[in-house]
Homo-oligomer: A and B are copies of this chain.
């Protein structure tokens, strides 16, 4: 099945916005055995027509993003209807949803907004919980007089597209994709080692299994391993992966690390506090993205300045003077101070040099200490070195922190 993605939007071609749809959709459809064969970005306006026409004869499954909004440059819906020879009909349910959404937010209805409720005849509306323009699904050859692929038309903002994709598109796709039912897939997520180390541990053994497809996908601080094949082959691969990687596997579903951590804390009725210097709130932000976090997250402290480390975490000023704020003893004191202050089961602390400034020969940019304090147990402190840009540094540090806590809980220590 040939899958094509067309991103519309002059802002993408001007570099005002960076595309996030290609990577998102590619990852979502991979478990169905689908891969994107080609992606194109075209500006708002008539170029959309040419790109769609070309894709109609070169794709079996076509995703089109953007151009569904209320403004004059949003014409994707109109072009789709025109090319497929379908009438655009105002959909009362969409009008009602838009009206409700706007009145809830006390936003005035402008003349242009109702355009978004027009639906090509025969299209299935994919409700948009996070915006006014719904997505649309038009099945292959929806107009019997014309050849056309299965077509999903989706709004451009990722926060609108992604929920629609997960809730609506992913429930329609299995009907379209006729995957042989004997094929299985398994997914393993690992945060404590890199792609090449994982490949060295499992690669040869897995590929020796006949008929198995092995894939890796690396992100900052995280590797996904996927195996696809007949049930017995996948079962063999599963045994190898579990025996080689064991506790390193933090998820075999699509949970991320913060979801795993919040789930484990909830199950164990335990609580967490954070003292983040160099991660600057990223850990707390991730933890509080998980619904239900409030039951397990006691408090977060971001003692960026030394005075705040002393004030909040009761770090001994002499420790900072003697070892520096980025040091094992200060990381330990921050974790223990945060745990005591918040009266939580655990506390994670981070202190490091994110850069670009602040490095020294002994402590270059990228140096970081992560500490984990736990009631009645010895505090663990680990040193890492992540020489990279500021945001990646924060991300990698947050990953090792969450994974340290997860392993502590999963190993039952």
Q: Which residues of B contact A187 (CB under 8 A)?
A: 16
**Cβ of A331 to closest chain B Cβ, rounded Å:** 17
Q: Please report which residues of chain A, range 271-287, place their CB below 8 angstroms from some CB of chain B when the two chains form the complex.
A: 274, 276, 279-285, 287
| Beta-carbon contact of B40 and A40 below 8 Å | yes
Whether B280 contacts A285 by the Cβ 8 Å rule is: yes
Asked if A19 CB lies within 8 Å of chain B CBs, one says yes
Q: Which of A31-39, A119-127, A243-251 makes up part of the contact surface?
A: A31-39
Q: In the complex, A39 Cα to B26 Cα: how many Å? A: 17
Contact with B along A146-188 (1 / 0, CB 8 A): 0000000000010100010000000000000000000000010
C-alpha gap A301/B8 in the complex (Å): 41
Contact B200 A110 (CB under 8 A): yes
A: contact size bracket: 35 or more
Question: Are A388 and B298 in contact, with the CB atoms below 8 A?
Answer: no
A311 at interface (Cβ–Cβ under 8 A)?
Answer: yes
A44 contacts chain B at the CB level, 8 A cutoff: yes
| Across-interface contacts of A274 in B (CB, < 8 A) | 281, 302
Q: Of all chain B residues, which has the CB nearest A112?
A: B196
CB distance from A353 to the nearest CB of B (A): 10
Q: How far is the CA of A284 from the CA of B394 in the complex (A)?
A: 12
Given contacts A113-B196, A281-B300, A292-B357, A14 and B26 within 8 Å (CB-CB): yes
Q: Which of B70, B299, B388 contacts A304 (CB 8 A)?
A: B299
Known: A282-B281, A285-B394. A17 touches B13 (CB 8 A): no
Known contacts A159-B220, A298-B304, A300-B280; is A226 also within 8 Å of B38 by CB?
Answer: no
Cβ of A355: which chain B residues have Cβ within 8 Å of it? 291
- Complex CA gap A12/B23 in Å reads 7
Stretch at the interface among A136-144, A211-219, A229-237, A314-322: A211-219
Q: Which residue of B lies closest to A341 (CB)?
A: B311
Q: Which residue of B lies closest to A384 (CB)?
A: B105
> In this assembly, does A369 line the interface, its C-beta being within 8 Å of a C-beta of chain B?
no
* Residue of A27, A38, A106 contacting most chain B CB atoms (<10 Å): A38
With contacts A11-B224, A299-B305 taken as known, whether A282 is within 8 angstroms of B280 at the C-beta atoms is no
Closest chain B CB from A196 CB (angstroms): 5
Known: A47-B37, A280-B285. A159 touches B392 (CB 8 A): yes
Q: Are B283 and A71 in contact (CB under 8 A)?
A: no
A291–B390 touching, CB < 8 Å: yes
Distance, CA A10 to CA B24, complexed state (A): 14
Interface centre among A16, A110, A342 (most CB of B within 10 A): A16
| Cα distance, A261 to B131, chains bound together (Å) | 28
Determine whether A69 belongs to the interface, using a CB cutoff of 8 Å to chain B: yes
A129 within 8 A of B: yes
Q: Given A302-B299, A394-B289, do A110 and B159 touch, yes or no (CB 8 Å)?
A: no
Chain B residues with CB below 8 A from A87, complex form:
none
Q: Complex formed: what's the CA distance from A293 to B280 in Å?
A: 10
Task: Decide: B11 and A22 in contact? CB cutoff 8 A.
Answer: no
Nearest-neighbour CB distance to chain B for A346, whole angstroms, equals 14
Pairwise interchain contact A24-B16, C-beta atoms closer than 8 A: no
- Give the residue among A113, A157, A285, A354 with the most B Cβ atoms within 10 A: A285
Give the 8 A-B residue pairs with the shortest CB-CB distance, closest first: A280-B288, A281-B284, A300-B302, A15-B26, A281-B281, A299-B308, A15-B23, A281-B285
A-B contact pairs, 21 of them (CB 8 A): A11-B215, A12-B39, A14-B30, A14-B215, A16-B217, A16-B219, A16-B224, A22-B41, A38-B41, A71-B195, A71-B196, A73-B216, A107-B196, A108-B197, A129-B388, A129-B389, A159-B391, A280-B288, A281-B283, A299-B304, A311-B341
Contacts beyond the supplied A14-B30, A15-B23: 14 A-B pairs with Cβ under 8 Å? A12-B23, A13-B39, A16-B217, A17-B23, A40-B40, A105-B385, A110-B196, A129-B388, A279-B285, A280-B284, A285-B394, A291-B356, A298-B304, A300-B302
